[in-house]
Structure 1
């Protein structure tokens, strides 16, 4: 959302809340209106940050190409390279590298995704 539009929305919301505070027909107390304004303002500020700093909000790491690690036949044994490039998966386990992650996913038919690079906390 462009910054100018965000400020316009914020100003419009302030005006609406101010006029509603003087109109008892809306059924909201002044405190409720200010609370609504605070929540809306916070949301708009977050929208500004996302539009002004897209480099901070990067997409998640893509899934590794597991097809290249999966064995061509279930009886075929695969050995992963002894490379340490930790991957944290959504099941909470840390895998030594994407090969081990992919083999676990294939062997146990797991419905997991890569959560992040590095060890799980």
Structure 2
């Protein structure tokens, strides 16, 4: 029984470690202009919305006074 519990604990730890996401802030200082490129390079925000690119996320943050970070590159 003890071996089973140890194995279960290890498996759960490995599973949870894989679910950890490295959230990073957008580099908004790169985008001083209120205009963004139309190049699609999607980022998934911590609000679960896909932004066309990092610049669009920065504009959203400025316009709505939010602090949305990048959950991951790519679509949500």
Of 9, 15, 18, the match for 1:43: 9
What residue number does 1:14 align with? Answer: 2
TM-score, normalised by the number of residues in structure 2: 0.69
The structure with more helix, counted as a fraction of residues: 1
Q: Structure 2 CA distance, aligned partners of 1:59 and 1:93?
A: 16
SS for the counterpart of 1:84 is coil
Q: Are 1:88 and 2:76 an aligned pair? A: no
How far does the alpha carbon of each residue in 1:46-105 deviate from its partner, in whole angstroms, 9 at most, with x for none?
44x48xxx9x6785253221122145xxxxxx1101111011112121111000001111
CA RMSD, Structure 1 to Structure 2 (Å):
3.1
The structure with more strand, counted as a fraction of residues: 2
SS for the counterpart of 1:88 is strand
What residue number does 1:69 align with? Answer: 31
Misfit runs of 4+, over 6 Å:
none
| Higher RCO structure, 1 or 2 (CA under 8 Å, sep 6+) | 2
Q: CA deviation at 1:44?
A: 1.8
Number of equivalent positions: 75
8 Å contact kept, 1:105–1:112? yes
User: Could you list the runs of 5+ residues in structure 1 that have no partner in the other structure?
Assistant: 1-12, 16-36, 72-77
User: Could you list the runs of 5+ residues in structure 2 that have no partner in the other structure?
Assistant: none
Of 53, 56, 68, the match for 1:97: 53
Which of 1 and 2 has greater Rg? 1
Q: Structure 1 CA distance, aligned partners of 2:50 and 2:36?
A: 15
TM-score, normalised by the number of residues in structure 1: 0.48
